[in-house]
Chains A and B, each alone.
Chain A
């Protein structure tokens, strides 16, 4: 197993290297001048030229790329052209904010999605099945910004139950340590704030969870339907075993592998692709950070931000692969 993990980690190197190259080229291919954006509309031509020189942007692209790789090898993710802070120091709070949100959304999506899928398969063609699958279809096709704004309006304004946006009550702010506020409030022992932070998580987590929840439900259903038709399930039922255990113990175990793959991929997507949710709910996450950086042509932030997300994505999928062997003993990595 360790051997396998080692091999996978080694494979990571060409993957990430290739990615740095592609990202590097793409962001330089789009028109737009970082110097213009940094200096603002007032900038003179000379000022822009001077700034491009001091940022190293007047070098040919391959020199810039080699310099960038050299910095990466020494663990230097670069410096934001706009804020002048190092990317590594800026990145963590955003990553933590997104991670907290994505994790909550995923827990929600898995609990509801997997169960809805199972019950739909169990009672195939029942009203519940139809209802759940129509709901799932709606979930997949729902525009997040609409869902988010409606959630704010109904639960935030009309019913006054949940906060409309942000991570915390601005009048009672959390003192950040890890930047995952649920953890931070527990460390501080501020349970009033913990409750507040959890309430802030609910609406964005639901908005973010809708699509993965629907995908997971549909995946679980089809995977379960296949397994439920297999002989060993029929045997178990013929033995007169409790149907609940047949479904949740015997069938689910074989059906969960493809679902797990989807969960892993979706979790990766949530980490990088939560820009809409982060914008609608003013969530200071990494998606918005990189999105803004693209607008400002802040090359180091775009490059390193995407690199970090890609790294997390690959790691999550590695974890999923390892989980396979725990769930299905037939899968061995040697």
Chain B
């Protein structure tokens, strides 16, 4: 009897184990390999970077997702680079460039002697092939290309007329009409130059086999777990990169990421919640790093829905909300109060706009003037934390209290994130919390993208329409003179301030933390950091 019981137990274990092993097709012989146990090269400098999510693809043009660019920014390079911590234009793969007076053509002089990781030469031909690849694509393959350059090869709306090589190291791009932020667009992460040999060879699988000219080469990718890149020994900038390897780990939970940093499993973490800032600053082994702000968190007011179809009610909302208190309580001071629809670092920011101070009495008076009937409104709270909105629910509660103080009743509602965006986009929200992080540091990327009538159905969730601002914003898109262009944007901000389709809340400073021996890391406002200068003390 006893034997049989053990037999049964043994069988059970065997069955469980065999299902586990069934899928292991390789035969498990004891092929113990040599002593390559990682000894010998102990001095290898590896940086482990913990972040909230995994990349979607390692082909930057194939996606719109920030987590992808965090990696590709180090594998590839663009013709033009942003500045170390701003969105000024600096030489990248193009040594220099010249714009024609009419803004209709650009000539780029390329760096010499640059090679892709697979040995292919970087030259004018490679640049032309990259543009041809993009222009021959479609919205599914290259979503960003369409929204930035207006379309694909057969579309009339495509702003690029032609891309031609002029000799080996010169490229001329001609446009159908001037595009003011054209050079800034070229500096965006998706428009990095990839090896033509590699994308022709791998086709759809290029995103798993990325080849660029960047300071690091691709090594391996374990989905949802880690991406490893290593030093490109033939990198054309002397003495760079400083690190031998970088591992990007996806660690979705904020507290776990901080625990990993404290335990030493990772060297650098992004997405640090403002509430952890104080404890990191007081820890001698860690340092807090601040990403320059290029975002806006706001309370949108859907102008097609009463009572917000009345401009006086919208203005009253702006007086009623105590923005400073929200910044102090929920951003832990890691933000500045917003008055315009874009952050001050963006060219064209209007310093002179008065904004709305916290004044509940004025709000009450305006509501009375507007004949507000006391109807309860729905106040939508974002269900997910974002740098520009660390805690949507709590911020909504604070706003709810502010509104109650001026006699407006509100009910807080929230939906799963996909549903939230979908419903808000259809104009189903009364008042909703939302935000935006800039892509290229251009005013158009905020003001036109978020509040122009062309953006209704995509990012203008308020359904705000104004023929005056529409005309100005379209004019600004083709205005090549920087100063004139900034003047236009300043005017637009004045009108938006008066019309108040939003209550602008805050421009937050996204936080990172690293071990204190990590040096030369300069967080970039776009959220994609270049790591070639980063080193250990």
Which residues on A are within 8 Å of B, measured CB to CB?
30-33, 36-47, 50-51, 54-55, 82-85, 90, 92-94, 96, 99-100, 103, 145, 148-149, 152-153, 156-157, 160, 163-167, 169-173, 176-178, 180, 183, 186-190, 192, 249, 253, 279-282, 284, 288-289, 292, 295-297, 315-316, 319, 322-323, 326-327
Nearest residue, chain A, Cβ from B248: A170
Q: Does B458 contact A (CB under 8 A)?
A: yes
A-B contact pairs, 6 of them (CB 8 A): A32-B421, A43-B64, A44-B458, A51-B140, A280-B256, A284-B222
Residues in A with CB closer than 8 Å to B419 are 30-32
Q: Which of B11, B48, B207, B252 contacts A170 (CB 8 A)?
A: B48
Q: How far is the CA of A249 from the CA of B5 in the complex (A)?
A: 8
Contacts of B144 in A (CB 8 A): 40, 42
Query: Which stretch, B28-36, B309-317, B480-488, B490-498, touches the partner chain A?
Result: B28-36
Interface window among B15-23, B117-125, B358-366: B15-23
Chain A neighbourhood of B2, CB < 8 A: 249
Chain A residues with CB under 8 A of B37:
190, 192
Closest chain A residue, CB of each to CB of B15? A319
- Find out whether the CB atom of A41 lies under 8 angstroms from the CB atom of B458: yes
Q: Which of B224-232, B462-470, B526-534 contacts A (4 or more CB under 8 A)?
A: B224-232
Sample of 17 more A-B contacts, CB < 8 Å, known A32-B418, A54-B138: A31-B419, A33-B418, A36-B422, A37-B418, A39-B139, A41-B458, A92-B23, A93-B222, A93-B223, A171-B48, A173-B222, A249-B1, A279-B252, A280-B253, A296-B418, A319-B15, A326-B12
Min CB distance A285 to B, Å, is: 8
- Given A42-B449, A164-B259, does the pair A284, B225 have CB atoms closer than 8 Å? yes
- Report how far A163 CA is from B265 CA in the complex, Å: 7
- Contact between B38 and A172 (Cβ–Cβ < 8 Å)? yes
Set B7, B26, B57, B425: member contacting A36, Cβ < 8 A: B425
Write the B162-186 contact mask toward A (1 if CB under 8 angstroms, else 0). 0000000000000000000000000
Q: Which residues of A contact B202 (CB under 8 A)?
A: none
Q: Is B111 an interface residue (CB 8 A)?
A: no
A55 to B436, CA, bound (A): 28
Contacts of A39 in B (CB 8 A): 64, 139, 143
The answer to whether A165 touches B26, judged by C-beta atoms less than 8 angstroms apart, is no
Report the Cα distance A176→B31, complex, angstroms.
15
Cβ A54 vs Cβ B140 within 8 A: yes
Interface of B toward A, CB cutoff 8 Å: 1-2, 5, 7-8, 11-12, 15-16, 19-21, 23-24, 26, 28, 30-33, 37-38, 46, 48, 56-57, 62-65, 138-140, 143-144, 146-147, 204, 207-208, 220, 222-226, 228, 247, 249-253, 255-256, 259-260, 262-263, 265-266, 416-419, 421-423, 425, 436, 439, 449, 457-459
Q: Could you say which residues of chain A place their CB within 8 Å of the CB of B422?
A: 31-33, 36
* A-side contacts of B207, CB under 8 Å: 83-84
Q: How distant is the Cα of A164 from the Cα of B255 in the complex, in angstroms? A: 11
| Residue among A96, A157, A292 making CB contact with B263, cutoff 8 Å | A157
Partner of B143, one of A43, A153, A323: A43
Cβ B8 vs Cβ A327 within 8 A: yes
Residues in B neighbouring A166, C-beta threshold 8 A: 225-226, 249, 251, 260, 265
Residue with the greatest number of chain A CB neighbours at <10 A, chosen from B11, B46, B259, B266: B259
Among A36, A153, A169, A187, point to the contact of B31 (Cβ < 8 A): A187
The contact of A288 among B1, B30, B143, B224, by CB within 8 Å, is B224
A-B pairs with beta carbons under 8 A, tally: 207
C-alpha spacing A315/B226, complex, angstroms: 31
Shortest CB-to-CB span from A26 to chain B, Å, is 13
Cβ-defined contact, B143 with A40, below 8 A: yes
Report the Cα distance A47→B23, complex, angstroms: 41
Known contacts being A40-B143, A96-B23, A173-B226, is A149 close to B265, with CB within 8 Å? no
Question: Quick one: given A41-B458, A103-B16, A153-B259, are A284 and B28 in contact (CB under 8 Å)?
Answer: no
B20–A90 touching, CB < 8 Å: no
Closest residue of chain A to B63 (Cβ to Cβ) is: A40
Chain B residues near A43 (CB, 8 Å)? 64, 139, 143, 147, 458
Main secondary structure of the interface of A (DSSP, over half): helix
Q: How many angstroms from the CA of A319 to the CA of B184 in the assembled complex? A: 61
Q: Which residues of B contact A93 (CB under 8 A)?
A: 222-223
Cβ contacts under 8 Å, B223 to chain A: 90, 93-94, 284
Q: Are B140 and A50 in contact (CB under 8 A)?
A: yes
CB distance from B40 to the nearest CB of A (A): 13
The residues of A that contact B259 with a CB separation of less than 8 Å are 149, 152-153, 156-157, 164-165
| Chain B residues closer than 8 Å to A84, beta-carbon distance | 57, 62, 204, 207
Q: Note all chain A residues with C-beta closer than 8 A to B20.
A: 99-100, 103, 180
Distance, CA A82 to CA B32, complexed state (A): 39
Picked from A177, A192, A281, the residue with its CB within 8 Å of the CB of B256 is A281
- Across the interface, which residues of A come within 8 angstroms of B262, CB to CB? 157, 164
Residues A45 and B225 in contact, CB atoms below 8 Å apart: no
Q: With A and B bound together, what is the CA distance between A40 and B439 in angstroms? A: 12
Chain B residues lying within 8 Å of A55, measured Cβ to Cβ, are 140
Looking at the complex, which one of A40, A183, A249 makes contact with B21 (CB distance below 8 Å)?
A183
Distance (whole angstroms) from the CB of B24 to the closest CB of chain A: 4
Contacts of A177 in B (CB 8 A): 24, 26
With known contacts A90-B223, A173-B220, A186–B28 Cβ distance under 8 A:
yes
- Give the interface centre of B12, B208, B226 by most chain A CB atoms within 10 Å: B12
Q: What's the minimum C-beta distance from B410 to chain A, rounded to whole angstroms? A: 23
Q: Is the CB of B138 within 8 A of A50?
A: yes
Decide: B263 and A282 in contact? CB cutoff 8 A. Answer: no
Judging by beta carbons under 8 Å apart, are A36 and B421 in contact?
A: yes
Task: Name the residue on B nearest A52 (C-beta).
Answer: B140
Considering the complex, give the chain A residue whose CB is closest to the CB of B459.
A41
Cα–Cα distance between A40 and B188 once the two chains are bound (Å): 15
Chain B's nearest CB lies how many Å from the CB of A114? 11
Among A37, A40, A183, A295, which residue has its beta carbon within 8 angstroms of that of B28?
A: A183
Point out the residues of chain A lying under 8 angstroms from B21, CB to CB: 183
Tell me the complex Cα distance, A179–B104, Å.
53
Chain A residues near B57 (CB, 8 Å)? Answer: 83-84
Query: Distance (Å) between the CB of B313 and the closest chain A CB?
Result: 27
Q: What 9 A-B pairs have minimum CB-CB distances, sorted nearest first?
A: A40-B64, A189-B32, A32-B418, A284-B224, A47-B139, A284-B225, A178-B24, A42-B147, A282-B251
In the assembly, what is the distance between CA of A92 and CA of B223, in Å? Answer: 11
Interface centre among A92, A103, A189, A319 (most CB of B within 10 A): A189
**Complex alpha-carbon distance, A176 and B416, angstroms:** 35
Which among B19, B143, B204 is the interface contact of A319 at CB below 8 angstroms? B19
Closest-by-CB residue of A relative to B28 is A187
Q: Do residues B23 and A189 form an inter-chain contact, with CB atoms below 8 A?
A: no
Residues on B with beta carbons closer than 8 Å to the beta carbon of A32: 416, 418-419, 421-422
CB-CB under 8 A from B65, the residues of chain A are 40
Q: Nearest Cβ in chain B — how far from A327, in angstroms?
A: 5
Q: How far is the CA of A295 from the CA of B56 in the complex (A)?
A: 14
Return chain B residues, CB-CB under 8 Å to A167: 225
* B147 A323 Cβ-Cβ under 8 A: no
B262 → A minimal CB distance (Å)? 5
Whose C-beta in chain B lies nearest to the C-beta of A183? B24
CA distance A145 to B208 in the complex (A): 33
Which of B33, B57, B146 has the most chain A CB within a 10 Å cutoff? B146
In the complex, A282→B457 CA distance in Å? 36
A316 vs chain B, min Cβ distance (A): 8
Report the separation of the CA atoms of residues A315 and B18 in the bound assembly, to the nearest whole angstrom.
13
Cβ–Cβ < 8 Å partners of B28 in chain A = 183, 186-187
Q: Are B143 and A94 in contact (CB under 8 A)?
A: no
A326 to B15, CA, bound (A): 12
- Judge whether A149 and B458 touch: CB under 8 Å: no
Is A47 within 8 A of B146, CB to CB? Answer: yes
Chain A min CB distance to B138 (Å): 7
